[in-house]
Amino acid sequence: MNNRPLIFITNDDGIHAPGIKYLAGIASQFGDVIVGAPDTPQSGKSSALTVNAPLEVNTHPSVDGIQYYSITGTPVDCVKVAMHAILDRKPDILLSGINHGSNAAVNNIYSGTMGATMEGCLLGIPSIGFSLLDHSMKADFQPLGQFVSDIISRVLASGLPQDICLNVNFPAGCTPEGVKVVRAARGHWSEEYADYATPHGKPFYWLTGTFINEEPDNSDTDEYWLARNYGTIVPIRPDQTAGDKINDIKAIID
Amino acid sequence: MNNRPLIFITNDDGIHAPGIKYLAGIASQFGDVIVGAPDTPQSGKSSALTVNAPLEVNTHPSVDGIQYYSITGTPVDCVKVAMHAILDRKPDILLSGINHGSNAAVNNIYSGTMGATMEGCLLGIPSIGFSLLDHSMKADFQPLGQFVSDIISRVLASGLPQDICLNVNFPAGCTPEGVKVVRAARGHWSEEYADYATPHGKPFYWLTGTFINEEPDNSDTDEYWLARNYGTIVPIRPDQTAGDKINDIKAIID
């Protein structure tokens, strides 16, 4: 009988991204790995799900004992469809990534990588999203290997607090100095669009922008430590209720 | 000189949905209303944004002094593009909805209505998402009118706490008994897909499902009060950092 952990892996860059293959390789030392990822890139898809269209699953060749499936939907769709149609039991851990690009700070809310991670958490699965601050499809994941491996190993051993998942980010182009468990930096995106005009003179817009970190210089946040070549782990609670503000809102409304 | 409040309205059901027209009508008693909504329905789009395609804005005829624009993107795209290309100053309030369908409990995380609301909040605009628990395009919004009006009026007068927005839901088919400020119920969706096969025998899946409320029967949550014909207001913090769990995660990782 097989009692190795069952590890489900997804991402938002799609099944062909190098980051997911690297993550699957690391994970396979800890258990049986099944990959179920979007068939096309799904960056910026947040927790979007497909309401008004059907979803299909396609089987890809196994590589080194790792099973690969692609799904014609968003990262959250991948988690939901995998639970319905691919996995024969609830996985022991869900891993998402390794994303090509930062999901630190406010990016958590837009990230498909973290959408899938939070979906796993809502389903009661210990779930971790991994990201590298390098958008390139040629990004070098090698310097992260030991850190990713350690985090998976510890979460498999200890689990995570109820209703909490992890948003893990790594600096680009270096071996991290270490890993810090911190809160997300407060901030927003600015100067968000490049302006164009069609050949007929009609304006159109393409998303770009600059992240504005609203924190004081020495704040103990993910952006602070990433800038100093540390990996960061932010504990994430999918439930966005601000329980500490219920009385303030009562005072305004009642 | 015009010193009426500037009110920006968006939604996820698209510019042609009755709910947004009803909301714009109510809002117009408080200030100058500009509607910028998706050109097509965008239910379940969460905080998704369009990364790899251009966005266009189209101008529609004004109705009763209310300006209407449609945008070829998600609800979050609508807020961002409006700030870039439609509005000449930051609005005094952002309203999203009235959504045709519930955004109570865990639905907050999947909702395009709430994606737009949280985007407004991230940009420092007092922001409110409104939803009615009735998916029908013929839903009757009339019984909510006074409640919606009161909430807008009070938030315009008092503002909202920093980094907090509101998720407001109303029961269907009745005049609400009142409005309760509460937390979101804990729960998840189950039995999530209907199964089909193509004419060639290949399986495909369509999202459906049942919401499982994991709360005790008498919990003071949105689902509890909606079932008793009250409107509910949940204060929402877009930042999902679980600050209270940083030490627990340090104990697991370090």
Alpha-carbon distance B36 to nearest alpha carbon in chain A (angstroms) = 15
> How far apart are the C-alpha atoms of B61 and B57, rounded to whole Å?
13
Amino acid at A67: Q
Least confident of A219-228, B179-188, B209-218: B209-218
Q: What is the chain B residue with the closest CA to A54? A: B206
Categorise residue A65: left if φ over 0, alpha if ψ from -120 to 50, beta otherwise: left
* Cβ within 8 Å, pair A239-B166: no
Maximum distance among all alpha carbons in chain B?
Answer: 67
**ipTM for the complex shown:** 0.95
What is the nearest CA distance from A109 to chain B, expressed in angstroms?
6
pLDDT of the residue at B2: 66
The CA distance from B182 to B247, in Å, is: 27
Cα distance between residue B86 and residue B79, in whole Å: 10
Determine the Cα angle at B77 with ends B75 and B81, to 5°.
125
Which residue in chain B has the smallest CA separation from A233? B249
Helix (H), strand (E), coil (C) string for B98-124: EEECCCCCCHHHHCHHHHHHHHHHHCC
* Distance in angstroms (rounded) separating the CA atoms of residues B244 and B163: 18
Distance from CA of A242 to the nearest CA of B (A): 5
Report the residue from B55, B182, B243 with minimal CB separation from A183. Answer: B243
Nearest to B252 among A45, A154, A250 (CB): A154
Contact A45 B48 (CB under 8 A): yes
Partner residue facing B50 (CB), from A207, A238, A248 = A207
- Residue A59: per-residue pLDDT: 98
Q: How does pLDDT run along chain A (254 residues), one tens digit per residue?
A: 468 999 999 999 999 999 999 999 999 999 999 999 999 999 999 999 999 999 999 999 999 999 999 999 999 999 999 999 999 999 999 999 999 999 999 999 999 999 999 999 999 999 999 999 999 999 999 999 999 999 999 999 999 999 999 999 999 999 999 999 999 999 988 878 999 999 999 999 999 988 999 998 889 999 999 999 999 999 999 999 999 999 999 999 98
CA dihedral for B131, B134, B135, B138, sign (positive or negative)? negative
Q: What is the pLDDT of residues B105-153, one digit of tens each?
A: 999 999 999 999 999 999 999 999 999 999 999 999 999 999 999 999 9
Does residue B218 register a pLDDT over 90? Answer: no
pLDDT tens-digit series, residues B67-81: 999 999 999 999 999
Return the percentage of chain B with pLDDT > 90, whole number: 93
Within 10 angstroms of residue A28's Cβ, the number of other Cβ atoms is 17
How far, in Å, CA of A5 to CA of B12, rounded?
A: 40
Judged by CB atoms closer than 8 Å, whether chains meet at A252 and B160 is answered as yes
Taking an 8 Å cut-off on Cβ atoms, the answer to whether A56 and B196 are in contact is no
More confident: B2 or A199: A199
pLDDT at A125: 98
> In which band, very low, low, confident or very high, does the pLDDT at B1 lie, cut at 50, 70 and 90?
very low
Residue in this structure with the two tokens 């804005």, named with its chain if needed: B57
| CA-closest candidate to residue B130, choices B243, B249, B13, B250 | B13
